[in-house]
Amino acid sequence: RIVHLNGEWLPEAEAKVSIFDRGFLMGDGVYEVTSVLGGKLIDFEGHCRRLDRSLKELGMGNPHTDDEWLAIHREILNRNNIGDGLIYLQVTRGNPGDRDFAYPNPPVPQTVVLFTQSKPGIDKTPLADSGLKVISLPELRWHRRDIKTVQLLYPSMCKMAAKAAGADDAWFVEDGKVTEGTSNNAWIVKGGKIITRQLSNDLLHGITRASVIRFAKEAQMEIEERAFTIEEAQAADEAFITSAGVFVMPVVEIDGATIGDGTPGKVARRLRELYLDETRKVAL
Ligand code: PMP
């Protein structure tokens, strides 16, 4: 792969970052993942807006304008011949030259990294026809989950625990209610109502989530933004997750309980189609 590092295009083996980089030592960085279909960026403006917000919340500037980010994203696709896949982008507070809890003052140049992951046919994965199994695990992350930081150890641990339990993923539960999945937003459908947790610092403000809500409302489907319990999810007609990596992905089992008839539900399948159709129309 050809990757992007601080304005340079390099073979991945030559892209090196300092051991003093705060992203490495402190998890002091933010990221975005944008999906690519047919060589075009899906929901790109949303990812730009959230990147800007994450940086602001951590007192960092944005090293590029939206137009510059778009040009970099397009160039990395061209350089790597990506049709379908993902673009990963990370910005850290950079390399102050030593380890210190305090942010460098004055600030040092940020570290900017982008790389691609080629995933041909990412929109046609058979997983969407079989659905996922999830387990619930306690929510033990910090309380600023609205900032998309690279501090992903707990979600990684939970992904491993899910796999060890024969499941695909985990949903986090705090004060009896589901916050979100390890790397996705959690949804249920009951009696025609589409339910997902309201936005707050307790969860990431998913870009796919926002688009799905918009498309569902435009299609006269009923959306309720509120928290729900695992028991309510287990008794729901349908369940699904959303993220840039999987779009809309049905969930057919939660903590061993079958959801609906154990196959992807109508609403989830409709929303998946809607999301893919509508975002493709305006992809950049
Ligand atoms: N929640 C978490 C914790 C995530 O890591 C992600 C994936 N980035 C999401 C939700 C979904 O967000 P998006 O739709 O913007 O990919």
- Supply the pTM of this predicted model: 0.97
**In sequence order, what are the residues at sequence separation of 6 or more whose Cβ sits closer than 8 angstroms to the Cβ of residue 133?**
166, 167, 168, 169, 251, 252, 253, 254
Looking at residue 271, what is its pLDDT?
A: 98
The 3-state DSSP class for residue 157 equals helix
Among 265, 188, 242, 260, CA closest to 43: 242
**Which residues are tagged catalytic?**
148
The answer to whether 184 and 246 have CB atoms below 8 angstroms apart is yes
Q: How confident is the model at residue 262 (pLDDT cuts 50, 70, 90)?
A: very high
Q: Which secondary-structure segment (H or E) carries 76?
A: helix 66-80
Q: What is the pLDDT of residues 186-229, one digit of tens each?
A: 999 999 999 999 999 999 999 999 999 999 999 999 999 999 99
Which ligand 1 atom sits nearest the alpha carbon of residue 242? 14
Looking at residue 182, what is its pLDDT?
A: 98
Ligand 1 site, residue 196, Cβ cutoff 6 A: no
Which ligand 1 atom sits nearest the alpha carbon of residue 46? 15
The answer to whether 66 and 284 have CB atoms below 8 angstroms apart is no
Ligand 1 site, residue 207, Cβ cutoff 6 A: yes
Residue 246 CA to ligand 1 centre (angstroms): 10
Task: Give, to the nearest 10 degrees, the angle between helix 44-57 and helix 207-218.
Answer: 130
Task: Supply the mean pLDDT for the chain.
Answer: 98
What φ, ψ does residue 165 adopt, rounded to 5°? -90, 5
Which ligand 1 atom sits nearest the alpha carbon of residue 185? 10
Looking at residue 256, what is its pLDDT?
A: 98
The answer to whether 189 and 265 have CB atoms below 8 angstroms apart is yes
- Please report, for residues 6, 12, 21, 168, the alpha-carbon distance to residue 53 in angstroms, rounded to integers and kept in the order given: 20, 28, 22, 30
Cβ atoms < 10 Å from Cβ of 149 = 20
Mutational pocket test of ligand 1: of 144, 156, 243, the residue with most ligand atoms within 8 Å of the beta carbon? 243
Mutational pocket test of ligand 1: of 183, 201, 271, the residue with most ligand atoms within 8 Å of the beta carbon? 183
Q: What percent of the chain has pLDDT over 90?
A: 100
Looking at residue 63, what is its pLDDT?
A: 98
Residue minimizing CA distance to atom 5 of ligand 1: 183
Q: In whole angstroms, give the CA distance from residue 249 to residue 276.
A: 12
Ligand 1 site, residue 212, Cβ cutoff 6 A: no
Which ligand 1 atom sits nearest the alpha carbon of residue 32? 8
Looking at residue 172, what is its pLDDT?
A: 99
Structure ipTM over 0.90, yes or no: yes
Q: Is 209 exposed, middle or buried (0-12, 13-18, 19+ CB in 10 A)?
A: buried
Cβ atoms < 10 Å from Cβ of 45 = 13
Ligand 1 site, residue 265, Cβ cutoff 6 A: no
Q: How confident is the model at residue 273 (pLDDT cuts 50, 70, 90)?
A: very high
Q: What is the pLDDT of residues 59-103, one digit of tens each?
A: 999 999 999 999 999 999 999 999 999 999 999 999 999 999 999
Go through the domains of the chain in sequence order and give each one's CATH number.
2-122 (3.30.470.10), 127-281 (3.20.10.10)
Ligand 1 site, residue 42, Cβ cutoff 6 A: no
